[in-house]
Structure 1
Amino acid sequence: MSKELLSVVVPCYNEEETIMPFIEKMKEIEAELPQLDIEYWFVNDGSKDKTLSVLREISTASDSYNYLSFSRNFGKESALYAGLEHARGDYVTVMDVDLQDPPELLPKMYHIIKEDDYDCIGTRRVTREGEPKIRSFFARKFYQIINKISNIEIVDGARDYRLMTRQMVNAILELKEVNRFSKGIFSWVGFDTYYLEFENVERTEGETSWSFWSLFKYSIDGIISFSEFPLMLSAIVGLFSFVVAIIALIFIIVRALILGDPTQGWPSLVCIILALGGLQLLSLGIVGQYLGKTFLETKKRPIYVLKEEKINPRGDEDGL
């Protein structure tokens, strides 16, 4: 009887120092999962260091190691999609190569998904020790905001690290949008999910490529992808400003008719004009964000472009 296949998808961007420690750690985990065949899909997302060289080397050492290399940096979301698209496993897991996603949770995740009626076993951090406080503050606020203004629920501290059934992976691959926000997509497709909790783990080597600004832009993409509330908010603010302006205009006219006072206060008038102009520009900016995303989707550009790949045949495919 053939074993079930587990595919491990590993996005990589400038991770030459972390790949080998990751592989060594995963060898220990493989020993705890003898009932599974395991294949790896490393996705080189346009790295500037020697990540690709390391991937070439390990792919010749074992048929378990496959790699995909992009023509440039397309972003982690594209790397995740490419890995999921190529993964051949009955189960698929997504992991960061820097070991911030604890591999030791994987055996427990597999046993839960096999024994209980779940389609996905996710993970979430319950602490953010070692992370800058300002980043932790805005991360928590992001989860609070998006859960209130969208029709999806994203668990606070949820990671991309999760184990999914083939059925769930196929559903995710049906969503071919270019502007991807995987945490929202995982939630949107549904399926029963159970979350394992763990404490924050520091990177083994190197430095993260995620700056505060890149995380902020990523959060904005998530809100725009899964909520129309900003559009509604701009309309409400515009309506409120219009009503206030009408009331103020009536007050000025009545005062001039009754008291005969000329309208004074050009500095305050300038301030009001600037305030309203700012609100208009803000609203236009919000609409522009949605319009820009729509424009990119209508171009039908590919989610990623491959420059190089090494796909090793599975053991049961050798005779085909």
Structure 2
Amino acid sequence: MELLSIIVPCYNEEKTVEMFMKELQKTLDGFNYEVIFINDGSEDNTLEIIKNLADSNPNVIYISFSRNFGKESAIYAGLINATGSLVGLMDADLQHPPSLLPEMIEAINEGYDVAAAKRVSKKGEPIVNSLGSRFFYRIFNSISSIKLVAGATDYRVMTRQVTDAVLRLNEYNRFSKGLFQWVGFETKWIEYENIQRVAGESTWSLGDLIRYSLKAIVAFTTLPLSLSIVLGFIISALAFIYLLFIIVKYLIYSDPVQGFATTICAILFLGGMQMILIGILGKYLENTYNETKNRPIFLVKETNIDDKRLDKIR
């Protein structure tokens, strides 16, 4: 039976890890699987609980970071260390129901390269987050050559070929949803209703989601840079037309140039636009700066993976 490696990023999930593992064991009873928990610098007892699970279950592997590097880094660490011919990715808060795993595996057996979960509703989520998510997908898909599926989640099962393809994209600034779409391959989308966390609270704030969205846009399209040029030409053209209007008005009607308030508004408007355009350019420079530093995507503090396996994988 093929080995299924399930990657589970964890950050402050002490209230959910044990419940998640129980549900996963029920679902995968009879399957050949391993669970790779990635402790992303949790500040609670998440690591201790995972260690206890590993002591009592040989199928449990854990990797603990030296600090919080973020979910994208945790996903990458899991992909590197997964040895199964099938690789799954899911959250520990049970918002990704383990009951979908058999259907995903069946889809792979039918010939699909990826089986991924897609939420058809966002019941229970704050309306601001829901509206923001819709707005992000519309903006991203309108300016990027990579099209994201609305409601798509990170929850999926992939073949080894797809996993290796994603690992070849070893960039520092990572947006996994975009990377999964970029590599292509045939995907079966499995729809499900939104499920609330079984315990604890989400660590994702609105600010985090906005920063994550900006990171995604910068990573997968340069259109904002082109729009900056177009906007500059439009503003310059309008300014030139307005200048001609003032000259003609003065020559025909001998109307002296007036409008202190108009001048101040124009200066503030142009100053604001310049700051916005510099900010857009700065985001792209930030990505380039982070890539050129060539720092590791994550650092491991401790793990129960033996050195022989680590050497083989890395």
Q: Secondary structure at the match of 2:145?
A: coil
Partner residue of 2:87 out of 81, 92, 115: 92
Q: Secondary structure at the match of 1:293?
A: helix
| Residue equivalent to 2:229 | 235
Measured against aligned partners, the alpha-carbon deviations of 1:187-228 in whole angstroms (never above 9, x if no partner) come to 001111110000000111111111111011111111111111
Partner residue of 1:60 out of 55, 58, 62: 55
Worse-matched range after superposition: 188-197 or 58-67: 58-67
Deviation at 1:259, TM superposition (A): 2.0
Deviation at 1:145, TM superposition (A): 1.2
| Residue equivalent to 2:66 | 71
| Residue equivalent to 1:126 | 120
Query: Would you say the 8 A contact 1:74–1:304 is kept in 2?
Result: yes
Measured against aligned partners, the alpha-carbon deviations of 1:275-316 in whole angstroms (never above 9, x if no partner) come to 0111111000000000111111011011001111112699xx
Q: Secondary structure at the match of 1:262?
A: coil
1:195-206 to 2 correspondences below 5 Å: 195-206=189-200
Measured against aligned partners, the alpha-carbon deviations of 1:104-131 in whole angstroms (never above 9, x if no partner) come to 000011011102x210001100011000
Measured against aligned partners, the alpha-carbon deviations of 1:166-194 in whole angstroms (never above 9, x if no partner) come to 00000000011111000000000111111
| Residue equivalent to 2:312 | none
Q: Secondary structure at the match of 2:3?
A: strand
Question: Tell me, which stretches of 5 or more residues in structure 1 are unaligned?
Answer: 315-320
Backbone CA RMSD of aligned residues: 1.2
Partner residue of 1:194 out of 188, 194, 198: 188
| d(CA) in 1 for partners of 2:208, 2:113 | 31
Deviation at 1:60, TM superposition (A): 1.2
| Residue equivalent to 1:311 | 305
Partner residue of 1:43 out of 10, 29, 38: 38
| d(CA) in 2 for partners of 1:223, 1:201 | 27
Question: In the alignment, does 2:297 pair up with 1:299?
Answer: no
Query: Would you say the 8 A contact 1:64–1:312 is kept in 2?
Result: no
| d(CA) in 1 for partners of 2:193, 2:122 | 7
Q: Structure 1 pair 7/313, CA: closer, same or farther in 2 (3 Å)? A: farther
| Residue equivalent to 2:144 | 150
Q: Structure 1 pair 27/202, CA: closer, same or farther in 2 (3 Å)? A: same
Partner residue of 1:184 out of 178, 182, 204: 178
| Residue equivalent to 2:155 | 161
| d(CA) in 1 for partners of 2:188, 2:226 | 33
Q: Secondary structure at the match of 2:32?
A: strand
Deviation at 1:47, TM superposition (A): 0.4
Report the residue type matching 2:299 in the other structure: V
Residue identity (%): 48
| d(CA) in 2 for partners of 1:63, 1:150 | 44
Q: Secondary structure at the match of 2:28?
A: helix
| Residue equivalent to 2:19 | 21
Measured against aligned partners, the alpha-carbon deviations of 1:66-93 in whole angstroms (never above 9, x if no partner) come to 0001111000000000001000000000
Partner residue of 2:28 out of 27, 30, 37: 30
Structure 1 residue runs of 4 or more that deviate by more than 6 Å after TM superposition: none
| d(CA) in 2 for partners of 1:213, 1:253 | 47
Query: Would you say the 8 A contact 1:238–1:280 is kept in 2?
Result: no
| d(CA) in 2 for partners of 1:162, 1:96 | 11
| Residue equivalent to 1:246 | 240
Q: TM-score, normalised by structure 2?
A: 0.96
Q: TM-score, normalised by structure 1?
A: 0.94
| d(CA) in 2 for partners of 1:255, 1:111 | 75
Q: Secondary structure at the match of 2:249?
A: helix
| d(CA) in 1 for partners of 2:89, 2:124 | 23
| d(CA) in 1 for partners of 2:307, 2:245 | 79
